[in-house]
A and B are shown apart, each in its own frame.
Chain A
């Protein structure tokens, strides 16, 4: 790698880690330090533009957007991370096993195809409606069910490719058991595609939760979250754009940082296998 590239990567990585670290700190400590109670409805103060009193302005209920964005970090991160974790926990084992064992693979992929055929919003909407009362856990399950199949697909196609590698054939020739091959050779090399897919899952799942709010289901209304704020602010995009802009910026920064982090991890872990997404 050229020297310039190394430095740039380092800077980008530093930036990413810095942002993510700050966000984690914010998510833990912000409720104690924010200037206003994020849920305080002061309807008479509604739709005020950013000012010294309200750094990011107020929304249509008079709630302070700055406080909401900061406190919303916690919920947003918990949601994003839980959904990604859900997709990981279900997606990776199924994808690996399916990619390695053909018969199993056919079955798994047909079910995955079937689930992926449902547009994400529809599936999440249907699952939420079935699970009854809206709530964080139900949202995580519903949206997680939408993203897990995608993870299966990514892992499956990577496994398909990986198992053809010469060193796998060599290991098999040497008599290594399937389990050993799976873990030592294949799973280890899946880290990079899995990580990259997880960063996308994080970003998109947050949007999806927001879309669920738009359809009338989703996380309970007085829990601040970036996606929820962007959806509530949709109507005001011309009149009071600050309602959407600030949570959007935070979201973009998080996604950016996750992606940069993912890239850097990928570079470190195994540069040879980066041609598989």
Chain B
């Protein structure tokens, strides 16, 4: 119990750290939203006037203090460019990213784990070798390349799937809109599926050779029981680690995928915001991402403890 409390405190610290680091980074980066908005032909006076209106000319500590004061009142501020509350914008884009992430995760886990397990169960067969090769190839392909190839083939030539864009499922109630996320989810997830497959395979292989497995088999337990009950359970830790890494890289990887497929998600929002120096939006997104991230890590760590009772968090 005390572990949970201490951990919760730690999570809050992490989140606050993220927000502070974001603020500092933004101050250090050259350029500012006024110059970006007014464009290359603006005069210095015009830029200064706009900065004054937005309060960007006030001392850093004052800006920092104002930000936190608002933050604790639940107000994340308004996007400089979109003139909408940051939370609202994130909310609008969240749907795309959440669905994309879930579908990519399905690809990762749905392709990766079975592939790894099958390869492990039949080591050195042609199945194993071809899966291994495929996995290694997958880990070295840039996701934008895979995405573009898929787009050109399935959308451009075969006209089977939409090429880009995404219309909200929630707003229209039309589940078929998820079709737009199939190609991006695959491009995004394939690389990580390869990683998971490799990890699953090697950990399964090790476990399958262990004494207690031989014993179980000798006892006459069916293979499927052996695999599922004993082997997977013990191979799960490294798999969990890789899957949690996958989540982190899904957020990053989504940046490129969203760009390629013109998906209105959070990944492209944050890149755009950084490039445009839209400070309130950047800070808002980092906050949300940090909270999510910290929660996922916490769950991952709890899963470790659950899977391996030897790991006790003192």
Contact = CB atoms under 8 A, between A and B. Distances in A.
A and B touch in the complex (CB under 8 A): yes
A56 to B, nearest CB: 16
Nearest to B308: A161
A154 B237 CA distance: 12
A20 interface: no
Interface residues of A, number: 58
Given A122-B271, A130-B28, A251-B140, A117 B206 contact: no
Interface in B261-314: 267, 270-271, 274-275, 286, 289-290, 293-294, 297, 304, 308, 310-312, 314
B290 A117 contact: yes
B274 A126 contact: yes
B203 A275 contact: yes
A4 interface: yes
Interface residues of B, number: 68
B123 interface: yes
B1 interface: no
Provide the main secondary structure of the chain B interface.
Answer: helix
Interface string A234-259: 10011000001000100110111001
Give the dominant DSSP class at A's interface.
Answer: helix
Interface stretch (A61-69, A85-93, A107-115, A175-183): A107-115
B12 to A, nearest CB: 9
A150 interface: yes
B139 A203 contact: yes
A275 B238 contact: yes
A228 to B, nearest CB: 12
B241 A277 contact: yes
B144 A234 contact: yes
B124 A5 contact: yes
Given A130-B28, A161-B308, A244 B123 contact: no
A5 B152 contact: no
Nearest to A125: B274
Interface in A1-18: 2, 4-5, 8
B145 interface: yes
Interface in B7-22: 10-11, 13-15, 17-18, 21-22
A110 B17 contact: yes
Interface in A117-175: 117-122, 125-127, 129-130, 150, 153-154, 157, 160-161, 164
Contacts of B62: none
Contact of B234 (A8, A111, A115, A275): A275
B93 to A, nearest CB: 14
Contacts of B234: 275
Interface in B213-247: 234-235, 237-238, 241-242, 245
B25 interface: yes
Given A161-B310, A238-B152, A275 B140 contact: no
B252 A8 contact: no
A114 B18 contact: yes
A254 B248 CA distance: 24
A85 to B, nearest CB: 20
Contact of B18 (A2, A118, A277): A118
A8 B245 contact: no
Interface stretch (A27-35, A42-50, A207-215): A207-215
Contacts of B139: 200, 203, 255, 259
Interface string A210-234: 1100110000000000000010001
B245 A150 contact: yes
Contacts of B289: 117-119
Q: Counting chain B CB atoms within 10 Å of each CB, which of A122, A127, A160 scores highest?
A: A122
A25 interface: no
Q: Which 4 A-B pairs have the closest CB atoms?
A: A277-B238, A252-B140, A114-B17, A255-B140
Interface of A: 2, 4-5, 8, 102, 106, 109-111, 113-122, 125-127, 129-130, 150, 153-154, 157, 160-161, 164, 200, 203-204, 207, 210-211, 214-215, 230, 234, 237-238, 244, 248, 251-252, 254-256, 259, 263, 266, 271, 274-277
25 contacts: A102-B314, A106-B6, A110-B11, A110-B14, A110-B17, A114-B17, A115-B21, A117-B14, A122-B274, A126-B25, A154-B241, A160-B304, A161-B308, A200-B139, A207-B142, A211-B256, A230-B142, A244-B145, A248-B142, A252-B141, A255-B139, A259-B139, A259-B198, A275-B203, A275-B206
